[in-house]
Amino acid sequence: MRGGCVEKFARLWVAAIVLLLVAVPASVRAETFTAPPAFPSASVCHAAVTASETVKDIVLDRSRWSCDTPGTLADNAQQLLLRFDLRGSAIETPGLLINSHTYREIDQFARFQLSSISGQEVITDNWLSLSDLTPTSPVWKTRVVAPPVSGDLEAVVVRIDAPTSAGVIDRFELEDTAPAAMLANADQLIAAVLCGLLIAPALFGLGYFRVLRTSFPIYHSLYCLLAVVQVAALAGLLPLMMDISRTAQIIILHMSFDLIAATSTIFAASFIERDKINALSRRMLYGVATLAVMLGLMRVTFGLTVGMPIAVAYYAGYAVFLGGLAFALIHPLRCGSRATLFLVLSYLPLILIGTARVGLALLTEFEIRFHAVMLQHFALSWQVVVSALAVADRFMLIKRDRDSARTAAILMERASERDVLTGVYNRRIITERYERLRAQGFTSLALIDLDHFKAINDTFGHTAGDKVLCAVAKALEPDSETVVIRMGGEEFALLMRGRGAFDRAEHRRRMVPAAAKAALGNDHLLTASMGLVELQADAMPDADFAALYERADRLLYEAKNTGRDRTVSERVKVFRTRKSVNRRERRVAA
């Protein structure tokens, strides 16, 4: 019994020793070879490496990677790796979107290595440069598509050559480029449509200038064209349309905006009603326009070399610009300027965006950037559309004023053509228009003079005499074939065309006594004498109205001298040489 217990205890002791010998090394090995934690799904991690290391050296070493917010790079870090994990992501064709506020920043990391990882293995490894970048919207964003690979991708690794700081990580993001056949993205397509729409107001402005011959439609057309350039440059459309360098693209982007600011203020100075804007406000508008051009030249000339001080001066200058613009528009608004109301309404979206950018740039030392690309596109479009409506409104007002002035001029001209008392034409109109009237067939002239009209003025007064003259003018019945003219005093003229001129004129002369009786209201008899000249169409071709009047006046004098209350007339014919041989020539020939 005792021997069995000892044997059983010995067996347990030996088993404990064996378990201890096995467990300790296992625990040591487990502690020593614990695998690093896996990369978080859809994470963005970074690692700083030296020039002697490759992507393959870093991929498997999880301890070299940090998925936290980057701080500063180590002194010996000559490259920076970014790892974009694709697990749990819906991205089918990964591409890299590079966000750079200036092309100077892009140039600092423009040569980079793009690698594809599958199963902790580098399956593609390519160096890329600026020529591999595709412009996108906005202009400071460029895109590169990852090299095609077979199988499922686990991650995409970017190796940036000579990064300035770990902050460049914020400039890179992964996107899905599955619709790679598209040359432009949705923002660029919208921008292209806006460019097409903005060209129409420019053409309308040229049309308005042709009619109005004032300067503001030209400035508006120039503003619209600059807006097209700005939208195209900001959306990255220029490289899609032409071969253009990045330096030229950034210069066009900046200068087009500054020229828009200058042109819009010059447009305002020429567009606001002259009686609603004082000299100080006009000078202020031209001053801020000059300031905008100077700021643009400063930015494109020194912005890439000097850097931050130029950016601060640029935004500080635009703070002055906004203040000067507001000051210049106050006086016209107080004076009730209709044009200024349109301008303020058109400026408002861009002013709000500009104020936000200037304020954030200067107050936060560029820590917070306000990039409202589509908002700026639509703000520019809004300004173009509203200002185009303002130009159209001014065009309609000017047209209305000109039409009123033309109508008034026509009425004044007609008034000057008419006799004030009787309403028929006066002598001046017949003298000026006789050539045209004769060409229209008015070749017969009758002069009618009231017999013993002075006796009516002496007996009944000048008021009664005026009534008689008005009644006689109405009785002479002007129509499409007869023009009635008061030649002066009690003398009237009938310029007629068509057949039966004598009968028509004689009928009118015989209506004078009845018209005079009706005007006087008694049985006083008033007669009229008439001299009538009828010309054939080709008779006296070189005769003017004075010559015709002289003949008619001679006939009227004859009617007066032969007893009054009658008509003396003549018909002027044309004698043509016969084309056939005359009788004498025939007789001689016989």
Q: Do the domain assignments include residue 153?
A: yes
> Domain for residue 590, yes or no?
no
* 141 and 190 together in one domain: no
Q: Where are the beta strands (DSSP E) in 60-154?
A: 79-85, 94-99, 112-117, 122-128, 134-135, 141-145
pLDDT at 192 over 60: yes
Question: What per-residue confidence (pLDDT) applies to 28?
Answer: 40
The answer to whether 346 and 387 are in contact (CB under 8 A) is yes
CA-wise closest residue to 157 among 121, 109, 129: 121
* CATH number where 279 lies: 1.20.1070
336 and 447 in a single domain? The answer is: no
Has residue 68 been placed in a domain?
yes
- Beta strand pairing call for 134-135 and 141-145: antiparallel
Residue 549 sits in a domain of what CATH number? 3.30.70.270
Are residue 486 and residue 553 in the same domain, yes or no?
Answer: yes
What confidence tier does 24 reach under pLDDT thresholds 50, 70, 90? very low
Q: What is the pLDDT, as a whole number, of residue 261?
A: 93
pLDDT digits (tens, 9 = 90+) for 49-74: 776 777 777 776 777 888 876 555 55
192 touches 379 (CB < 8 A)? no
Q: How does pLDDT run across 539-554, given as a tens digit for each residue?
A: 777 778 888 899 999 9
Tell me if 222 is assigned to some domain.
yes
CA distance 322 to 316: 10
Q: Diameter of the chain by CA atoms? A: 196
Same domain, 131 and 227: no
pLDDT higher than threshold 80 for residue 371? no
Q: What pLDDT sits at residue 150?
A: 53
Number of domains in the chain: 3
Q: Is the pLDDT of residue 200 over 80?
A: yes
**Mean per-residue pLDDT, 205-210:** 76
Residues 239 and 386 in one domain: yes
Q: What is the mean pLDDT of residues 501-516?
A: 92
pTM confidence score: 0.57
- The whole-number average pLDDT for the span 300-310 is 79
Q: Are residues 367 and 448 in the same domain?
A: no
Residue 587 amino acid letter: R
Strand, helix or coil for residue 581: coil
Do 168 and 192 lie in a common domain? no
**Final residue belonging to a domain, choices 155, 176, 197:** 176
Give CA angle at 586 (580, 590), nearest 5°.
145
Report percent pLDDT > 70 for the chain: 73
Q: What is the DSSP string of 8-64?
A: HHHHHHHHHHHHHHHHHHHHHHHHHTPPPPPPPTT-EEEEEE-TT--HHHHHT-GGG
User: Is position 410 within any domain?
Assistant: no
234 and 155 share a domain?
Answer: no
**Torsion angle defined by CA atoms of residues 121, 124, 128 and 131, in that order, rounded to the nearest 10 degrees:** -150
pLDDT of residue 114: 58
> Is 256:215 a contact under the CB 8 Å cutoff?
no
* Number of residues that make up the chain: 590
CA atoms of 222 and 266, how far apart (whole Å): 11
Co-location of 373 and 435 in the same domain: no
SS3 276: coil
Neighbours of 278 (CB within 10 A): 13
Quick check: 283 pLDDT over 70? yes
Q: What is the mean pLDDT of residues 272-298?
A: 93
CB 102 within 8 A of CB 140: yes
Window from 127-131, 226-230, 456-460 with minimum mean pLDDT: 127-131
Q: Lowest mean pLDDT: which of 106-115, 451-460, 481-490, 521-530?
A: 106-115
Judge if 233 and 289 occupy the same domain: yes
The SS3 assignment for 477 reads coil
Residues 378 and 508 in one domain: no
**Is pLDDT at 506 greater than 90 in this prediction?**
yes
Which is nearest to 471 in space by CA: 459, 453, 458?
453
425-426 and 482-488: which strand pairing? parallel
Return the higher-pLDDT residue of 585 and 573.
573
Parent domain of 247: 186-400
Write down the pLDDT at residue 206: 78
Give the pLDDT of residue 65: 82
Q: Which residues pair with 492 in a beta bridge?
A: 448, 486
Backbone Cα Rg of the chain: 49
Q: Are 555 and 448 in contact (CB under 8 A)?
A: no
Asked if 204 and 351 sit in the same domain, the reply is yes
Cβ 565 vs Cβ 529: under 8 Å? yes
Distance set, CA 144 to CA 81, 98, 278, 436 (Å)? 17, 8, 55, 79
Give CA–CA dist 433/473, Å, rounded.
Answer: 20
Contact 364, 335 (CB under 8 A): no
Cα 324 to the chain's mean position, in Å? 24
Q: Which pLDDT does position 372 carry in this prediction? A: 73
Token code pair at residue 242: 């032409």
Q: What is the CATH number of the domain that holds 132?
A: 2.60.40
Identify which of 391, 379, 274 has the alpha carbon closest to the alpha carbon of residue 335.
274
Residue 246 within any structural domain of the chain: yes
- 373 in any annotated domain: yes
Q: Which of 176, 196, 211 is the last residue of a domain?
A: 176
**Which phi and psi (to 5°) does residue 162 adopt?**
55, 60
| 3-state SS, residue 88 | coil
CB of 353 within 8 A of CB of 375? Answer: yes
The answer to whether residue 589 is domain-embedded is no
